[in-house]
Amino acid sequence: MTDEIVRPGQIASTRIYSGRVIALDKDSVRFPDGSTGEMEMFRHPGASAVLPVLSEPSAPDPQVLLIRQYRYATNGFIWEVPAGRLDKGEDPLACARRELLEETGATAEQVELLTTIYPTPGFCDERIHLFAAFNVVVDDSRTRREVDEFVTVSLMALSSVLGMIRDGEITDAKTICCVLFYAGFKAGL
């Protein structure tokens, strides 16, 4: 038996593909037991997602905004919280505020970090920063959606959103995490 400490991590990396949204690397890695192998890793700049809370957070059943957005990968429309990719060097909070405005036309007096998640850590380094927005003002004329964003905005009771998660109507992982974190740890539901 050896007392040598094994430091897992990257030994070398080769870029296989660089695209507009992601890059693909083939990495040589050292595992915790000292063995080595190759891993294919998608590199992503990260993202922010925000749950807009329109009523007082202390309300018995707060009103929140969700968007219904067409996603090619799902072959249809899905329910989501407003979210988007971090621009190079962009602060996650600034990204959350930007996406809130672009996708819903809303601004918020207060935006609070809930948590940060790795949605698919088996093959991707993307981190999504989850926020809740308060004292929200919506003005549809201020939306600035990208050409591939087909979005409708809906105001819903948090209890309805929780029911949609329970019933499998909301399947987007970041949205489920954001809503459940807010409901469980901030709204106390």
Encode pLDDT of 136-174 as tens digits.
988 776 666 566 668 789 999 999 999 999 999 999 999
Phi, psi of 163 (to 5 degrees): -65, -35
Joined tokens for residue 60: 């018995």
Q: CATH assignment of 47-186?
A: 3.90.79.10
Is the CB of residue 173 less than 8 Å from the CB of residue 119?
A: yes
Q: Whole-angstrom Cα distance, residue 164 to residue 95?
A: 26
Closest by CA to 80, choosing from 156, 184, 186, 8, is: 156
The pTM score is 0.90
The structural domains of the chain, with segments of one domain joined by +, span 9-43, 47-186
Average pLDDT over residues 24-29: 95
Q: Per the structure block, which two tokens stand in for 55? A: 């009523």
